[in-house]
Amino acid sequence: MKNYFLACSLLVSASAHTIFTQLHVNGVAQGHTKGIRVPTYDGPITDVTSNDVICNGGPNPLRTPLPKDTINVKAGDTLTTEWHHTLDSAGTGDVSDPIDKGHLGPIMVYLAKVDNALTTTVTGLKWFKIYEDGMDASGEWAVTRLYNNKGKVSFKLPSCIQSGQYLLRAELIALHGAANYPGAQLYMECAQINVTGGGSANPATVSFPGAYKGSDPGIKFQLYWPKPTSYTIPGPRPFTC
């Protein structure tokens, strides 16, 4: 009986996905989709071994041409990623904006240093995580905090990272179907940024695909019953200066 109800709730929320649509720098909105490689469909990536897990694409073709803007930021700035159900759902009263409330899971941000943030090649990049938020001690999820904050998630750009251009990969994982793999729904977009005023840090890096396995406890995860008491966020712990 319980499984029957869960299956139904999955069907209801199946299409209520999400997209990272805007970057804010120290509280200043940079413009809708500016500098962000947004997909034309808001669906998830579920194959963690696919190249589509890098900066989306594949089943959700990226909008072309890719953005020509690179967003200027300073090391140490506070950045905010703003997420919405679809590219155009902000402010429409859509009850699934910024995301369906049942899409519970973690939120993460990674950076990869690139020679030119307009590069179309995203394979082979070396990524380091700068932010993560999972489930807190009360059982509340990062996605619930995002929902309550109207789709916004803020974090600090480490002050010691090297100046230069980066792709910023913001990721949200919905775990409602994650009891088996594939099932976890990965949502991610990459923003094109140019960092000034940085330092000389050399953070340890991971690859995408590669950073996650289908068997990771944060990818194959039972969200409902027994009620989870802890959650291990996938990937490395965030780099700090």
Ligand X SMILES: *[C@@H]1O[C@H](CO)[C@@H](O)[C@H](O)[C@H]1NC(C)=O
Are the beta carbons of 155 and 78 closer than 8 angstroms? yes
Give the 3-state DSSP-derived string for 31-50, with helices as H, strands as E and coil as C: CCCCCEECECCCCCECCCCC
Q: Which does 17 bind (CB under 5 to 8 A by kind): Cu ion, ligand X, none?
A: Cu ion
In the 8-state DSSP scheme, what is residue 11? H
**Least CB distance to ligand X at residue 139 (A):** 43
Q: Is 119 in the site for ligand X (CB under 6 A)?
A: no
Residue 154 contact, options ligand X, Cu ion, none, Cβ 5-8 Å cut-off depending on partner type: none
Q: From residue 105, give the alpha-carbon distance in Å to each of 17, 22, 52, 78, 184.
A: 13, 20, 20, 23, 9
Report, in Å, the least distance between residue 69 CB and ligand X: 9
Least Cβ distance, residue 117 to ligand X (angstroms):
6
- Annotated active-site residue 17? The verdict is no
Structure tokens at 206: 């991971």
Whether the CB-CB separation of 188 and 235 falls below 8 Å is answered with no
As measured in angstroms, the least distance from the Cβ of 56 to ligand X is 22
Q: Does 84 bind Cu ion (CB under 5 A)?
A: no
Q: Which is nearer to Cu ion, 17 or 129 (CB)?
A: 17
Binding to ligand X by CB under 6 A, coded x per residue (else -) over 177-216, reads: -----------------x-x--------------------
Q: Which does 84 bind (CB under 5 to 8 A by kind): ligand X, Cu ion, none?
A: none
Work out whether 26 is an interface residue with ligand X (CB under 6 A): no
Please pick, from the candidates 50, 51, 70, 149, the single residue that binds ligand X as defined by CB under 6 A. Answer: 70
Torsion sign (Cα): 77, 22, 134, 93: positive
Q: What is the distance between the alpha carbons of residues 85 and 112, in angstroms, rounded to a whole number?
A: 26
Query: Distance between CA atoms of 182 and 117, rounded to whole angstroms?
Result: 31
Place of tokens 């980066």: 166
Shortest distance, position 70 Cβ to ligand X, whole Å:
4
Q: Which of 17, 37, 113, 176 binds Cu ion (CB under 5 A)?
A: 17
Q: Give the separation between CA 166 and CA 177, rounded to whole angstroms.
A: 32
By C-alpha distance, which of 28, 45, 31 is closest to 169? 45
CB 128 within 8 A of CB 204: yes
Of 9-17, 121-129, 196-204, 215-223, the window that binds Cu ion (rule: CB under 5 A) is 9-17
Q: Which residue is nearest to ligand X (CB)?
A: 194
Active site residues: 176
Q: Which residues bind Cu ion (CB under 5 A)?
A: 17
Q: Which residues bind ligand X (CB under 6 A)?
A: 70, 72, 194, 196
